[in-house]
Amino acid sequence: KSKDQENVWTIAEFGFGMNPNARLSGNVLEDEKRLGTAYFSIGDNTTLGGSAAVGIQISGVLKSPSVWLDETVLFENGSFVVQ
């Protein structure tokens, strides 16, 4: 079973939506691109050059995230604030 494999909880992807024309539609491939979202996937990362070949990847989209990188706020409640 995939859930029992050692690397199944590997972070496979993490990124930010930057497209103001993308809509929240329920389709993760468009939702993850919408400006002000953040997205992540856990599990298999081999398609991106990783080594976690676990046979499953689960994705999620955060609609209005607050994201920090060290002491710098990148997004606050879904608004891009880096200058």
User: Could you tell me if 41 and 62 are in contact, meaning their C-beta atoms sit under 8 angstroms apart?
Assistant: no
User: Of 79, 78, 82, which is closest to residue 61 (Cα–Cα)?
Assistant: 78
Residue where the block lists tokens 């606050």:
76
Per-residue pLDDT of the chain (83 residues; tens, 9 = 90+): 667 778 899 999 999 999 999 999 999 999 999 999 999 999 999 998 999 999 899 999 999 999 999 999 988 999 988 77
Q: DSSP 3-state assignment of 46?
A: helix
What are the residues whose beta carbons fall under 8 Å from the beta carbon of 7, sequence distance 6 or more?
Answer: 51, 52, 53, 54
**Given this model, what pLDDT does residue 25 score?**
95
pTM of the full structure: 0.80
Query: What local confidence, expressed as pLDDT, does residue 80 receive?
Result: 85
